[in-house]
Amino acid sequence: MTNSEALGSQLWWSTVQLIPELLLLLLLITLAAGVRFRLWNQAGAASGWLTLTWLVVVFAAALWRMLANGTEAAIEFAEGRGPGGVAGITYLALNAESLMFLLIIVGAFVVVLLSLEEERERRINHYLYIPTALLGIRLLLAPSNLITLYVGLELFSLAALSLIFATLNKRYKHLSRPERPALRFSVRSGVGTALLLFGMSYIYGLTGELDLAAIRAGISDIKPYASLGYMAILLMACGLGVKVAALPFGIWVSNEEETNTSFSYTAGAMFLTVAGQGATAAVLFHLLRETAIVQLLGLNSAYVGLQAIAASQMAWGTVALLRQKQAAHILGWASVINSGYLLVPVALSLAPVHSSSFAPLGYHFAVYMLAMFGATAILAAVREATGHGKLSGLAGLYHRSPWLAAAMVVFVLSFAGLPVTGGFFAKVYIWLGSAAAEAYWLLGVMAACTLAATYAYFGFIRQMFMRTGSDERSLQLPFAASAGIVICAVALVVLGLFPGLLMK
């Protein structure tokens, strides 16, 4: 092949790789245009259905790409030209990252489905955040160099910011300016970015490289400065943590604990939190595995450090969960616990002998996402019906709408990690990882947290089955939302019975 053809084919080849991303960009532009030029009225569901169909197309493209890349021809073709990727965006071959991306697209699809009829009266939902978040996460999943990582993260935060502005800020006019969630969120994400960049600068200072592969090559000769390298990792980990944690804190946990209970969490916010946590864990995993900084510098205490962070996050979330009376707060703290769970495979994967791969992280993420979305949808419906976000809204649900109660039971069991639901195998898989890595103390902490958290999660069941509520009206749910819930519940049960499916 002559040079130009090679260049041409490479150009063709790279564009083919990036079709899903380009489609998402296109979606973003159309939506922005829609909002700017009032192509459709704000309240209309048109934007929702448009996004929905568009996401299906994107999913198909990504799936085709994953399969295409998987074929031998493509692999040897890609190897032939060295690390594929244009401007730091590696191509998603047949590996876990692309699986993760597909999962997130499915998540986005379900979220849009659930929020189609949400808040009909305050029609402010314009789905701008969906494409931006997806693009951001896409970059985060498999960055080939630090800059891409940074760009992805900022894109994701932008999406979150836009969501907050659109949905939550209006409700909080009565709060003083600094108290408004938007400002609190942006300040916190700012701190996160600062820490992240500070860590990156250390790495850049040490190795003079930004590309991960190059860093890996150059890392071995900075043996004497191992400690600085370790400092860089910790800083970057904290930066990512703060960035991701900013969102849940910003949205849920307002200062006036008891007074205003009408905190509205939308499916969108939930999506961003869950996807964000998943992406962070994935990027940390990717970062540490690619640069193999820890193995090379022999900093084995790094494992203990990360495991400690994961364990403390879980313990903190469980203990805080026990006192919650508000449904929203329970979900908030549950997300904190589950993000701790997601961190565990990351921390373990560093352990020398452990054979675990990305699989447990991916599997747990899928299960966590499904359960969270389903639960949010139901609780949102309850909040709609009763006007207050308290748990007692669920009382007596078993005879008001039995099938909804059954779905909620599946979600609760999945959170608690009890059999027949996906949550069980996710827990078993992660516990297996920590058992193989002989991190027995972590196993103990996880067992204790699961026990206490199960008691708290079963609060839902106590309300639904063992208490009789005041109003007897059965809960109406828009068709799309109930469809979404059914999808989540059935998927969870199927994952519970045959976990192998996802693994293939």
Instruction: Point out which residues bind another protein (CB under 8 A).
Output: 187-188, 191, 195, 226-227, 230-231, 234-235, 238, 242, 249, 253, 255, 257, 298-301, 304-305, 316, 319-323, 352-353, 355-357, 359, 398, 413, 418-420, 424-425, 428, 431-432, 435-436, 440, 443-444, 447, 450-452, 454-455, 458, 461-462, 465-466, 498-500, 503
CB of 327 to another protein, least distance (A): 16
d(CA 29, CA 42): 16
Look at residues 323, 403, 367, 371 and name the one whose alpha carbon lies nearest to residue 503. Answer: 367
**Of 145 and 335, CB closest to another protein:** 335
Q: Which residues, in sequence order, are CB contacts of 369 under 8 Å at separation 6+?
A: 103, 107, 274, 275, 278
**Of 35 and 435, CB closest to another protein:** 435
417: left (phi over 0), alpha (psi -120 to 50) or beta: left
Q: Which residues, in sequence order, are CB contacts of 170 under 8 Å at separation 6+?
A: 122, 124
CB of 373 to another protein, least distance (A): 22
**Of 155 and 294, CB closest to another protein:** 294
d(CA 74, CA 435): 37
**Of 125 and 450, CB closest to another protein:** 450
DSSP conformational letter for 465: I
CB of 225 to another protein, least distance (A): 11
CB of 121 to another protein, least distance (A): 30
CB of 230 to another protein, least distance (A): 7
- The residue assigned the tokens 């389903």 is 374
Q: Which string of DSSP letters, residue by residue, matches 51-88?
A: HHHHHHHHHHHHHHHHHHHHSHHHHHHHHHTSS--BTT
Instruction: Write a three-state SS string for 123-173.
Output: CCCCCCHHHHHHHHHHHHHCECEHHHHHHHHHHHHHHHHHHHHHHHHHHHC
CB of 299 to another protein, least distance (A): 6
**Of 80 and 500, CB closest to another protein:** 500
**Of 80 and 352, CB closest to another protein:** 352
Count CA atoms closer than 13 A to 208's CA, side-chain side: 4
Give the phi and the psi of residue 498 in degrees, each rounded to 5. -130, 75
**Of 116 and 485, CB closest to another protein:** 485
CA distances from 446 to 4, 70, 340, 416 (A): 57, 36, 10, 12
CB of 409 to another protein, least distance (A): 9
Count CA atoms closer than 13 A to 26's CA, side-chain side: 11
- Helix 359-386 crosses helix 327-349 at what angle (to 10 degrees)? 180
**Of 109 and 265, CB closest to another protein:** 265
**Of 34 and 241, CB closest to another protein:** 241
CB of 253 to another protein, least distance (A): 6
d(CA 313, CA 324): 17
d(CA 369, CA 267): 11
**Of 214 and 497, CB closest to another protein:** 497
d(CA 126, CA 136): 18
CB of 435 to another protein, least distance (A): 4
CB of 490 to another protein, least distance (A): 15
CB of 300 to another protein, least distance (A): 8
**Of 387 and 444, CB closest to another protein:** 444
